């Protein structure tokens, strides 16, 4: 029996992420009860699902007949996607929903090696309009379309 190290590492990453976010959720948010979930209820369910998926992947790595190489790490994608998420979470209130979604989508599209600015701008614009219509107009979330940065 050979061990597939790539799948084993992937499973451990998912387990670690589920445990880390589960701990943060238990520490900071009330969970509630099964019939009356608090703000931490759904994140705990997602963390549990992430841990189970990680365990399944780890178990599957024990039964693979070949070992896969790790290959090249896509650093550009890791950096750009992380920057996109950080930008959105950090500047949502200051920039507003529309500019935050636009900038995040544009940065995320720059993760691709064959990045093309014009299609990325168009897709980011469409996503920003769609998210603004759904979350501000449709659902009525109290997030400004343009944030305090633009109001002077």
pLDDT bin (cut points 50, 70, 90) of residue 55 is very high
Nearest to 110 by CA among 123, 100, 98, 99: 123
Structure pTM? 0.66
pLDDT bucket at 4, cuts 50 / 70 / 90: confident
pLDDT of residue 1: 62
- Report whether pLDDT(61) > 90: no
pLDDT, residue 141, reads: 86
Q: Residue 69 is encoded by which pair of tokens?
A: 């190489």
Which residue, chain included where needed, has tokens 């992947």?
Answer: 57
Residues 131-141: b if buried by 16+ CB within 10 A, e if exposed: bbeeebeeeee
The pLDDT value recorded for residue 5 is 80
Long-range contacts of 32-38 (CB under 8 A, 24+ apart): none
pLDDT of residue 65: 64
Tell me the pLDDT tens digit for each residue of 8-33. Answer: 889 999 999 999 999 999 899 888 88
Q: For 118, how many CA atoms within 13 A lie in the half-sphere containing its CB?
A: 0
Cβ proximity of 70 and 7 under 8 Å: no
What pLDDT, in 10s, does the model give residues 62-121? 887 666 666 788 899 999 999 999 999 999 989 999 999 999 999 999 999 899 999 999
């Amino acid at each position: 029996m050979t061990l597939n190290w790539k799948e084993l590492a992937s499973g451990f990453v998912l387990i670690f992420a589920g445990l880390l976010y589960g701990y943060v959720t238990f520490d900071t948010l009330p969970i509630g009860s099964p019939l009356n979930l608090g703000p931490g209820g759904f994140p705990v369910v997602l963390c549990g699902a992430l841990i189970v998926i990680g365990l399944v992947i780890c178990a599957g790595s024990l039964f693979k007949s070949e070992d896969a190489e790790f290959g090249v790490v896509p650093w550009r994608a890791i950096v750009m996607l992380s920057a996109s998420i950080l930008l959105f979470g950090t500047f949502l209130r200051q920039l507003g929903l529309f500019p935050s979604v636009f900038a995040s989508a544009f940065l995320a599209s720059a993760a691709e090696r064959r990045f093309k600015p014009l299609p990325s701008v168009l897709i980011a614009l469409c996503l920003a309009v769609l998210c603004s219509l759904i979350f501000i107009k449709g659902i009525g979330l109290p997030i400004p379309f343009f944030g305090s940065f633009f109001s002077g």
